[in-house]
Amino acid sequence: MEIKTINTTNISTFFNQLVQSGKIVIAPVLKKSGKIFFERVQSYNQIETDYIQTAFSAKSVVFPKVEELFSYSKTTDNFETKQSLSDIPETVVWGLRPCDSAAFNYMTRFFMDENPDIYFATRKERTTLIAISCAKSDEACFCTSVGLDPGKTKGSDIQLTLMGNEYYVEVITEKGLSAIKTSESLFTSSTEKSKEKYLAEPTTKFSIEEIKEKMQNAYDNVAWGQESMGCVGCGACAFACPTCTCFDIQDEGTGENGKRIRCWDACGFSQFTKHASGHNPKPNQTARRRQRLLHKFKYSVENIGMVSCVGCGRCIRICPAHLNIFENILNVTKA
């Protein structure tokens, strides 16, 4: 790990040099609708710098909303299949929050444990993550309740923290080092500094260790009904969530040619768990919402040892009924 600083007047030069290096640069952009999304940009003046959180996560960089797994076409007496991993470009994601970086860690465990997913692996390998520590938070943020904080560097290749008129730069990985290589003259070496007074202070809603324990017995709690009443069964929370990785595989094509694609799916949809027999093990929204929360705070822990929630609060902000995940957790773990 190397520690550097860069003057705020030079940050746009660094950014534009990243663009000029030929990599695809994805950063937060303010749209006409007033929401902020991660999109491809060509220069620093297109990006939004004053915001708490983007509407959607940056997971589509490594886990796109639609991904072609392979394509097929009929030849004279056979079929030909083509897999196109070489088209995936080198990408830099700028402006992630520490919760988002930690989510990339979770996704790496999910996709690479046991049966490595080559599509995810290729994309992740070609992606550099540059995070910016949070100076502000709102009431939906709860990263400190899930073992993270507004300055944590877990998962980032480079982390920037704004300290007055300069950015404190933590270059954590080899990828981070090679990203700043061509702009080295803009950076100055530095000693370790404390970030604490420059970071946001989201209130801690619960202790994750306590919750992990209490969730063991939460399945039968009658509170699930009340906590899930507001859920209308859309996929907004799952699609916005940086750690939700459920997908559907579909074949689109004709007898002559077509492709197999993987696209996002959501556990809130009523047909998500429907069997071919017609039986649906999660027949109502209460069962589906319970499954979602237990998955994040119990089953993920059992399967890969990580809570699959980073406390970014996107689900709360984007939900049509603003269902509150940490309130739900607290209410279903009450004795």
* 82 forms part of the interface with other proteins (CB under 8 A): no
Binding mask 22-61 for other proteins (x = CB under 8 A): -------x-xxxxx-x-xxxxx--x--------xx-----
Shortest separation between residue 173's beta carbon and other proteins, angstroms = 29
Shortest separation between residue 306's beta carbon and other proteins, angstroms = 25
Number of residues that bind other proteins (CB under 8 A): 54
* 266 forms part of the interface with other proteins (CB under 8 A): yes
Q: Which is nearer to other proteins, 171 or 266 (CB)?
A: 266
d(CA 122, CA 202): 35
Site residues (CB under 8 A) for other proteins, limited to 197-256: 225-226, 228-230, 232-236, 238-240, 248, 250, 252
Q: Kindly tell me which residue out of 7, 71, 286, 331 binds other proteins, with binding defined by CB under 8 A.
A: 286
Which residues is 72 bridged to in the sheet? 81, 258
Q: Which is nearer to other proteins, 116 or 225 (CB)?
A: 225
Instruction: State the CB neighbour count (10 A cutoff) for residue 13.
Output: 15
* 9 forms part of the interface with other proteins (CB under 8 A): no
* 280 forms part of the interface with other proteins (CB under 8 A): no
Give residue 99's identity as a one-letter amino acid code.
Answer: C
CA 136 vs CA 144, 231, 245: distances in Å: 13, 29, 28
Shortest separation between residue 235's beta carbon and other proteins, angstroms = 4
| Contacts of 158 by beta carbon, 8 Å cutoff, 6+ apart | 128, 129, 130, 131, 169, 170, 171, 172, 176, 179, 180
SS3 call for 129:
strand
Shortest separation between residue 171's beta carbon and other proteins, angstroms = 28
d(CA 171, CA 207): 30
d(CA 310, CA 148): 7
Q: Which is nearer to other proteins, 1 or 229 (CB)?
A: 229
CA 297 vs CA 126, 203, 215: distances in Å: 30, 19, 7
d(CA 93, CA 109): 19
- Residues of this chain that interact with other proteins (CB under 8 A) are 29, 31-35, 37, 39-43, 46, 55-56, 65-66, 138-140, 225-226, 228-230, 232-236, 238-240, 248, 250, 252, 261, 263-264, 266, 269-271, 284-286, 316-318, 320-324
